[in-house]
Amino acid sequence: MRIALGADPDDRLNAVLVEYVEAVERGERPDRQRVLACFPEHARELAAFFATRDRLEEITAPLRAVAGPDPSRDTGPAPALDGAVATRPDVPPLGAELGSIGDFRLLREVGRGGMGVVYEAEQLSLRRRVALKVLPFVSALDPRHLQRFRNEAQAAAQLHHTHIVPVFAVGAERGVHYYAMQFIDGQSLSQLLSDLRAADADAKSSGAATPLAGASVSAERASRRRQYFRRVAGLVKQAAEALDYAHQVGVVHRDVKPANLMLDDAGRLWVTDFGLAQMRNDSGLTATGEVLGTARYMSPEQAAGQRGVVDHRTDIYSLGATLYELLTLAPVFDAEDGRALLYQVAYKEPRPPRAADRSVPVELETIVLKALAKSPDERYRTAQELAADLQRFLDDRPVLARRPSFRDRTAKWVRRHRALVAVAAGVFLFATVGLAISTALVAQAYQREREAKQHESQRAKEAEQERTQAEQNYQRTRRAVDMFVELSDEEQFNFLPLTGLRVRLLETAIAYYQELSDSRADPQVRASLEEIKARVARLHDELTALNEVTRLLLLEQPVVCADLGLSREAVARLAPALQRLWSYRQGPEVRDAQEARQQPQIAELAAAARKEVQETLTVAQYQRLRQIFLQIPGPHVFGRSVLDELGLVDPQRDQIRRIRSAALRDSLKLWSTAETRCESQKDFEEMWKRTNNNIAAQLNPAQLEKWKAMRGASAPAGVQFPLHNSTRTRTP
């Protein structure tokens, strides 16, 4: 035996017993001592079981078949159903005995089902025929099966109704549980439906209806007479009345189906098989989510495993499904897969009966659809209401049930497709909001357009005024920029320390000209812009060359030559080059500053003179000449090359730029207030010295030491620094 060792002890014992019984029924003879040795913890329970089993062996061989189905038996559908009180033509004659249980002598087996085997038997004490339902021995080993069997007997015993099979006795003998009930001579509605389907198939193959012998209901169905539908309505009415009685005493059948509805020879309908019944305040046999019943006939709430909402209305649905099948000979839902069938039952709407068979009366279709409503609240409130509506149909009176309106069908569809409806509602809401927003935007646009038309003339007038004002502003700006250019051409700016100011003025003019050119296509502005750009480029070159010229012209002073240690021969060799430089600095006699600045030879002259000086002077002498030049007062000595050599950072450069600008403003004031050239030169020299000292104060200690090294020793006494074109410092 292969039993899970980790299972619960009770479950493990139950598994051992079941496997032992199944082995015996297969014809095997398990070794009991080996079983006891394998499971010593259950030795006492197993020994008691074997003793009981030995006593059962005393029962006749046919009776031992009651212990469970024969393994060799065909596993297909049994000829009789759970109700098991129908007759079977292929059974032994009534005189043949199978054995006895208690007060009952078994005559023949009339049916098998999930909850037991039903025998036709004779109650010896009362000499009457009964139906004896016996629980298979294997099922008795499962506490839940045993409790459900007892529940069925107790539920049926509480019910005393003309259409419910009564229970006569309940008992157990030598471990075999049974109960006796009234024996019904007849057949189940399930067998009736099989006969009707066979008759329909024969009629279709032969082209005519062929009634079944001895079956008046089948004949009625074959001829499609209204009497058939009335007969069906009467049978279902009887079942509804029986179920209503059971509901009133607190019993819900939960397994209403054709197989559990018996039709006796007198045409009376009987409700049987309460094996899955639920009695009032009894919830111990059903777990949450457990699906009980026959899937094809169970209610949607049963199919969905909604234990809390399964009440008497589930029987109304199942009875409606039975009525549907009796009317159409087809089940409500026909999926073959179990899960698919449960899904159809829980969520799909049934096909109207008249869609399958146009001869079905409209009133019966309405009754069926109301009983088959997905929501329990939409069905008949009680089985008696269903029976009353069926009676109205039989009396040819209007039924109370009404076909679902379009609104009702829509509501049902919404409930079945809530996710889709939610998405559609979201889309609709989004579209509505979007439409509202677009409408508001259109309205705003229309309002703006109307206001624009109302004030169109006013805006045109204002636009004209703005154009006039813009033209005036443009002309004023153009005149101001032209003034910058004219100011840079003044003779006062033909002065070495102020050359940087000239460049700044022209660069400012370029920025304004560029802005004017971008804002307005004016050919004159564009031409002026290109001209000033060229002039600034020349000024940059001139500024570099003028610094070079100023440094070289220091060689005209004897004190500088003496400081450098130049011989007379060296001075004589340099004299022609220095004279050419001085001639350029002094300019033509016409004193036309504009023409003097336009001479293109300054860069070439400076380069040629620098070459002659470098060929004449030693490296040390040339370096000393640069040191003396760096001691000239004025911020022009702090050119880009000097600032780069000192390693100044951006904040220092910005501060030096501000010092230069302040010095240039002071220079303009000083230039305008000086009475004589000599006086102004002296004042300029003092001011530029202060400016250089302020710039030097921006240097850090390391930079300051480097600046002192770049300047070297102090310039010799008597050196005159050339600050203006007309000042020549050469001594004859």
Cβ 354 vs Cβ 275: under 8 Å: no
User: What are the start-end ranges of the H helices in 554-676?
Assistant: 558-564, 568-586, 593-597, 602-616, 619-629, 640-646, 650-673
Cβ 131 vs Cβ 110: under 8 Å: yes
Tokens matching residue 128: 């009457």
Nearest to 364 by CA among 230, 263, 239, 189: 230
- Nearest 10 degrees: Cα torsion 590, 593, 598, 600: 70
Cβ 253 vs Cβ 274: under 8 Å: yes
Write b or e for each residue in 86-102: b if 16 or more Cβ atoms lie within 10 A of its Cβ, otherwise e.
bbbeeeeeeeebbbbbb
Distances 491 to 502, 592, 593 between C-alpha atoms, Å:
11, 9, 6
Q: 90: Cβ–Cβ under 8 A, 6 or more apart, which residues?
A: 79
**Locate tokens 């070297």: which residue?**
712
The one-letter code for the residue type at 394 is: L
Which DSSP symbol is given to 729? -
* β-strands 104-113, 99-101 pairing: antiparallel
720 half-sphere exposure, CB direction, 13 A CA radius: 14
Dist. CA 214–CA 446, nearest whole Å = 87
Cβ 536 vs Cβ 507: under 8 Å: yes
Nearest to 724 by CA among 668, 681, 688: 681
Dist. CA 641–CA 561, nearest whole Å = 25
Q: Which of 244, 255, 315, 389 is catalytic?
A: 255
Dist. CA 170–CA 158, nearest whole Å = 12
* β-strands 251-252, 278-279 pairing: antiparallel
Q: Please, is 507 exposed, middle or buried when counting C-beta atoms within 10 Å of its C-beta (0-12, 13-18, 19+)?
A: middle
Which residues pair with residue 164 across a beta bridge?
271
The one-letter code for the residue type at 201 is: A
Tokens matching residue 347: 């969520």
Which residues pair with residue 119 across a beta bridge?
109, 132
Dist. CA 118–CA 547, nearest whole Å = 131
- Nearest 10 degrees: Cα torsion 92, 94, 98, 101: 150
Q: Is 185 a catalytic residue?
A: no
Q: N- to C-terminal Cα distance for the chain?
A: 138
Residue 611 labeled ligand binder: no
Which segments are annotated as binding site for ATP? 133
Active-site residues, by number, are 255
